[in-house]
Amino acid sequence: MFNDISSPLALLHTRRSGKPRDMIGPGPDADQLHAILAAAIRVPDHGKLAPWRFVIVRADQRAALAGLLTDAYRAEKPEAGRLEIEAMEQFAHQAPSLVVALSSPVAGSKIPVWEQELSAGAAIMNLLNAAHASGFVGGWLTGWAAYSDAVRDAFGTADERIAGFVFLGSPSREMEERPRPDFETVVREWTK
Ligand SMILES: Cc1cc2nc3c(=O)[nH]c(=O)nc-3n(C[C@H](O)[C@H](O)[C@H](O)COP(=O)(O)O)c2cc1C
């Protein structure tokens, strides 16, 4: 592993996303994935609504996922070329493990949907940090499939949205750090 997780804060300082297309095995086994998801759902949640769901796509279901994505893509874009279809297949097959994260806001709640969506994002962030803490690398992707109603219907209901496809695995090589925002640009003291 290329991750320095010698202290809890170092864990957070060193987390970075992996490119799902570059991930190799091992991914988390069933017990490890359970522990990662148990951490994901331990998240701030105004109103205790649990406005998120996680759907595990097993390794033996990746071909079915590829069929779902390519069928949905062709239905929406009948003129789709071979490269676009291959991109859908690659998306479905990449990385050892996949969890589809859904934003599942509770309709009619006095808690604004915005806050429920924030909780969903926080849960995915917990998932990524828990994966890192477990020695794996994660990647949070959306892309065309996340905004397809047909794909959404295969994982959830019309009231839900795909918040992300979260791929998990091991890095195939040392991961490069990306430029991070300048601290002073994004953090300041209030000057009133
Ligand atoms: C909601 C959301 C959707 C994303 N979708 C994509 C995506 O479809 N493709 C992609 O390359 N990166 C996507 N990203 C960015 C990566 O998940 C990741 O943030 C980026 O590679 C930087 O990695 P870092 O976590 O090390 O900062 C998305 C991020 C978020 C928050």
Mapped onto helix, strand or coil, the DSSP state of residue 135 is coil
- By three-state DSSP, how is residue 43 classified? coil
How far, in Å, CA of 136 to CA of 126, rounded?
13
Give the model's confidence band at 36: pLDDT under 50 very low, under 70 low, under 90 confident, else very high. Answer: very high
Kindly report, residue by residue over 60-96, the tens digit of the pLDDT.
999 999 999 999 999 999 999 999 999 999 999 999 9
Query: What CATH code is carried by the domain that includes residue 128?
Result: 3.40.109.10
Q: Tens digit of pLDDT for each residue in 136-185?
A: 999 999 999 999 999 999 999 999 999 999 999 999 988 889 999 999 99
Residue 70 forms part of a structural domain = yes
180 lies in a domain? no
Instruction: Specify if 182 maps to a domain.
Output: no
Is residue 6 domain-resident? no
Q: Tell me the pairing of strands 137-141 and 52-57.
A: unpaired
- Distance set, CA 131 to CA 43, 174, 182 (Å): 15, 17, 26
Å from CA of 192 to ligand 1 middle: 35
Asked whether the beta carbons of 72 and 145 are under 8 A apart, the reply is yes
Q: Is residue 37 part of a domain?
A: yes
Nearest CA to ligand 1 atom 26: 16
With a pLDDT cut of 70, the percent of the chain lying above it is 97
Residue 190 domain-assigned (yes or no): no
Helices (H), the chain: 8-14, 30-40, 62-76, 82-93, 113-133, 149-155, 183-186
- The answer to whether residues 165 and 145 touch, using CB atoms and an 8 Å cutoff, is yes
- Nearest partner of 148 among 82, 81, 83, 92, judged by Cα: 92
Nearest Cα residue to 138 out of 32, 1, 15, 30: 15
Residues 1-12 have pLDDT tens digits of: 444 557 899 999
**The pLDDT value given to residue 4:** 54
C-alpha 191 to ligand 1 mean position (Å): 32
pLDDT > 60? residue 118? yes
Domain contains 2: no
Work out the burial of residue 19: count CB atoms within 10 Å of its CB; fewer than 13 is exposed, 13-18 middle, 19 or more buried: middle
CA 177 to ligand 1 center in whole angstroms: 14
Question: For residue 136, what are the domain limits?
Answer: 18-173
Answer yes or no: is 8 within a domain. no
Pocket test for ligand 1, best of 22, 52, 141 (most atoms within 8 A of CB): 141
How many domains does one find in the chain? 1
